[in-house]
Amino acid sequence: MIDKIDARRNLGLTNQEKNNFAASTLVGVPFDQLKTLLDVPVADRAKVKQAGIPTDSTNNQLADWINAVKTTFLERQAELQTAGDQKAFDDFQMLYMIKGDNDAKYPQFDGVIEAMRRNDQYSFKLVTDPEEAPTGSELYRVREIRKASAERKAAAAAPSK
């Protein structure tokens, strides 16, 4: 996916920057700040204030990100189908989770909707608080699974009495 963004926007990303992108859990900067963000070590990236991806009507960069995700997803889905791996094909699903801050105003949200609409994508989830995922959401379920797994590991590692 990052190769598509790099080519479309002529960003000139290095292989290291692309690898750093692959190791990222969150990227929320305009394209002109992406190289700088990807040069920050992954461990330190949480400390970096990310400005957000522009979604205004004259510069909706989110639409390019969504297009790259959609194209990459469809290519991978076709590969699975061609390979005859029906289980992997059936299990392979795309889920957009869009993070916004709790102070986002309607014009920014409208830009997100427009980016999705431009790419014929009408199903997505919004996450507004980085600490608490909405109960029942995919992010909530993932966090609960991780939490339960960590608790089981801790219990197994604890000395028995």
Parse the chain into domains and list their residue ranges: 2-130, 131-161
End-to-end CA gap in the chain: 51
Q: What is the pLDDT of residue 133?
A: 65
Q: What is the pLDDT of residue 134?
A: 66
Residue 60: enclosing H or E segment and its boundaries?
strand 59-60
Task: Assign residue 84 a region (left: φ > 0; alpha: ψ between -120 and 50; beta: otherwise).
Answer: left
Count of beta carbons in the 10 Å neighbourhood of residue 134: 13
Asked whether the predicted pLDDT for residue 58 surpasses 70, the reply is: yes
Segment 77-120, tens digit of pLDDT: 888 888 888 888 788 788 887 776 666 666 677 888 888 888 88
> Which of 8-12, 45-49, 51-55 has the highest average model confidence (pLDDT)?
8-12
* Element counts in the chain: helices (H) and strands (E): 7, 4
